[in-house]
Amino acid sequence: MPRQADHAPQSDSNSAPSLAPGSSCRSRRRSGQPWRPVLALALVVIALLLLLPFVLADLQQEDEQDARAVAGQEPAASQPADAALTETFPEVTRDSDGRLQWPRPRIADRKPERDRLVDRYIARGGAFHDAVKDERVVAAMRTVPRHEFVPRSRHRSAYDDTPLPIGHGQTISQPYIVALMTDLLEVKEGDKVLEIGTGSGYQAAVLNELTPYVYSIEIVKPLYEEVVERFERLGYKTIQARLGDGYDGWQQHAPFDGIIVTCAAGHVPPPLWNQLKPGGRMVIPVGGVYETQRLVVLTKRADGGRKSRTVLPVRFVPMTGKIQKP
């Protein structure tokens, strides 16, 4: 018979060491369930993610309330009184949230061409210019039908990023320049804006997407007559246009939050500066016919002082009328 010793278990160097009595089960549970703390942490993260939208919504509501409170503390001119403008702008109302409402046409014709123009030249930066960052301005450029503001013979080129002749020695500006000047003016809803040089009305229509209170002066009578008919036909009911010399501005409706000049002036007309509200902006091309013109942004300080910034060189038709007199 074999010896008893031959069946006795021998020590194996790869086997696990023996554990003290009573500790074996607990040790196995700890080493066999490492996912428990991970699961607990995951549950906490999920709970936080579920609560996050509610927290953000509360913060946003508080921010909106604070913004409304701050807006209520601004000068009355930044929140125009409807009562003072009702006679001139009867179509402008306020909704239940207090936001201004006014009629603006929505023309779907050639919308894909407008989108391509904006995507290629305005919403994205180019080799020689920066992108227009104000989404309201970008949306306005997508909305206003430029082909309605150029002669029929130029309809095919309406959505090229280039100026086009509109007759009487005048032009409709390059779309990028229209967007840039609108962006530089920093128009807020409810601002009163004066435009010098109505032309075909395209710039005024873009401004009208941002505020109902747009005033525009045109010195060339045939262009003025055409643009009044165009505004009426398209449905721009709150753009106020008149025939006159833009050098003098429009004192009856001053002061203005912003003034935009779409023709080059050898100097800033004093009446326009006087009609600009403290804190307001003027965007104007400065320079003579045979000089290098500069697109300039002027900001009026509270004390009437002037802050000036040159943006880029431009080429505009000259301002005519009094400014040309010695």
Give residue for tokens 């227009």: 132
Out of 13, 96, 157, 173, which one is annotated catalytic?
173
Q: Please check whether residue 79 is in contact with residue 71, taking contact to mean a CB–CB distance below 8 angstroms.
A: yes
Q: Please check whether residue 239 is in contact with residue 184, taking contact to mean a CB–CB distance below 8 angstroms.
A: no
Q: Please check whether residue 213 is in contact with residue 89, taking contact to mean a CB–CB distance below 8 angstroms.
A: yes
Q: Where are the alpha helices (DSSP H) in the chain?
A: 24-32, 35-73, 82-85, 111-117, 135-143, 175-185, 202-208, 221-234, 270-274
199 C-beta neighbours (distance < 10 Å), count: 26
Say how far apart CA 174 and CA 171 lie, in whole Å.
9
Q: Are strands 164-167 and 170-172 parallel, antiparallel or unpaired?
A: antiparallel
Q: Please check whether residue 197 is in contact with residue 224, taking contact to mean a CB–CB distance below 8 angstroms.
A: no
| Catalytic status, residue 96 | no
CA distances from 166 to 51, 148, 150, 260, 295 (A): 58, 12, 6, 20, 22
Say how far apart CA 255 and CA 275 lie, in whole Å.
5
Would you call 181 exposed, middle or buried from its count of C-beta atoms within 10 A (0-12, 13-18, 19+)?
buried
Q: 309-313 long-range contacts, Cβ below 8 Å, gap at least 24?
A: 311/180, 311/184, 312/129
Give the count of alpha carbons within 13 A of 78, CB side only: 12
Beta bridge partners of 246: none
Residue type, 291: E
Q: Please check whether residue 312 is in contact with residue 295, taking contact to mean a CB–CB distance below 8 angstroms.
A: yes
Q: Which residues are catalytic?
A: 173
